[in-house]
A = this chain, B = another copy of it.
Amino acid sequence: MTETAAAVPNDVMERLAAAIDANFEQQVAFLQQLVQFRSLRGEEAPVQDWLAGEFEARGYMVDRFNLADVDLMRHPKAAPMDGIALDGSKQVVATLDSEGKGRSLILQGHIDVVPEGPPDLWNDPPYEAIVRDGWMIGRGAQDMKAGVSAMIFALDAIKAAGFVPDGRVHLETVTEEESTGNGALSTLMRGYTADACLIPEPTGHTLTRAQVGAIWFRLRVRGTPVHVAYAETGTNAILSAMHLIRAFQEHTKEINTRATSNAWFAKVKDPIKFNVGIIKGGDWASSTPAWCDLDCRLGVLPGETPAQAMAGIEQCLAKAQAADSFLSENPVELVWSGFQADPAVCEPGSAAEAALAEVHARVFEQPLDVRLSTAVNDTRYYTVDYGIPALCYGPYGIGPHAFDERVDLDSVRKTTLSIAMFVAQWCGLRKA
């Protein structure tokens, strides 16, 4: 294992590029199939089974396991699963080990997608993976099935060009990235580590330098239902929920005031987002609603911990309740419903980043830009908990979590080359 490695020769790069181009029609078809799986949370098993078959067909050693197999909840960083069965959440790790002397690498991507929302608000069907004008359109096309296709086809290109990586490579597809991160965590608990990790989230060819953490929580507000004729004698849980939303908006402002002196996010306007993502309440238009549930997400600043953020959420809630005569007598139930994600920093100066910067500059003919992310990604377990340099870097697309989500196919092609080159640079290649 060496900390520096000679540049990948130009002719190797050309062979990799040619292999990717030759195979690109097949890669697009593969990505279409991947997008056509509606792999919502809890429904990822079919796509994982299909991917495991794809990896086996390539001759990789494939380990299929689920979150129960690693006894997930024993890990202090395991996040609550909120009704999702541990044994139904399947992970796939394919290993390509040439027993060479090069550095080892994890290429990891998540295959869970967020709900598509009302299909009538899409201009194209969300799971048909339509290709038009150089884009592929669909839920998950960008976030992050394009990246998954890139890491798989990068290895295919290396093989097609007549090489094998000179270090062990784990190719991993995980669940739970959009809700807890438990999928990524489980691969580490299963024992899969390496000298570096690359996660091709759709960063638009930038490297994520720092990212916030995130907490998910649910507020279960109760009311006193009465006939609307006597509305003043009851308490409307929906209006109480509005009171709490306003309280959390104020709380978020306070955190963003602190953010102005944060080491990483000082120059980002309001990097901490509070989101009420789901609301459900009441049963009848003419009854004051007896209940209202809010599903919320709040970011965590680098330098602060999930535990601190959760304490802040508890304090905000307590203060908002104390200010309301009904809520002070009828406390809201606070449920930790998913993410308890650390913020993370990709510390500058790693050999992995240097390798990526070098190959990126060659592929894109411009220097590697970095970005600050106001969302989480799975690299945090590697950097924060396992001391493994982890790079979040992937293709360009539009509309993560939005309608008409799409990925730029030319960017997918270049990202595939960039990843193939990164494997070559980091692990080294040798003739097959």
Contacts and interface: CB of A to CB of B under 8 A. Distances in A.
Interface of A: 114-118, 121, 143, 178-179, 214, 216, 222, 224-232, 234, 236, 238-239, 242, 245, 270, 273, 275-292, 295-297, 299, 337-339, 373-375, 399-403
B374 A230 contact: yes
Contact of A275 (B178, B270, B281, B286): B286
Contacts of A179: 285-286
A299 B400 CA distance: 42
Contacts of A226: 399-402
A109 B129 CA distance: 55
A288 B275 contact: yes
B277 A284 contact: yes
A277 B286 contact: yes
A277 B288 contact: yes
Given A278-B281, A280-B280, A282-B295, 6 more contacts: A118-B290, A178-B284, A228-B273, A228-B401, A277-B285, A286-B297
Contacts of A297: 228, 285-286
B290 A227 contact: no
Contacts of A299: 228
Nearest to A225: B402
For the complex of A and B, list the 7 residue pairs with the smallest distance between their C-beta atoms, beginning with the closest.
A229-B375, A115-B283, A277-B285, A227-B401, A287-B401, A228-B275, A229-B374
A222 B118 CA distance: 10
A282 B279 contact: yes
Contacts of A224: 402-403
A283 B219 CA distance: 16
27 contacts: A114-B283, A114-B284, A114-B286, A116-B283, A117-B291, A118-B290, A214-B286, A216-B285, A225-B401, A227-B402, A228-B401, A234-B402, A236-B275, A238-B245, A239-B276, A277-B282, A278-B283, A278-B284, A278-B289, A279-B280, A279-B281, A282-B295, A284-B295, A285-B296, A285-B297, A285-B338, A287-B401
Contacts of A229: 273, 373-375, 400
Nearest to A282: B278
A203 B412 CA distance: 70
A270 B229 CA distance: 10
A279 B279 CA distance: 7
Contact of A236 (B276, B338, B375, B402): B276
A425 to B, nearest CB: 29
A295 B291 contact: no
A303 to B, nearest CB: 19
Contacts of A400: 226-227, 229
B115 A284 contact: yes
A403 B234 CA distance: 11
A283 B277 contact: yes
Contacts of A338: 285
A236 B236 CA distance: 22
Nearest to A283: B115
Contacts of A277: 228, 282-289
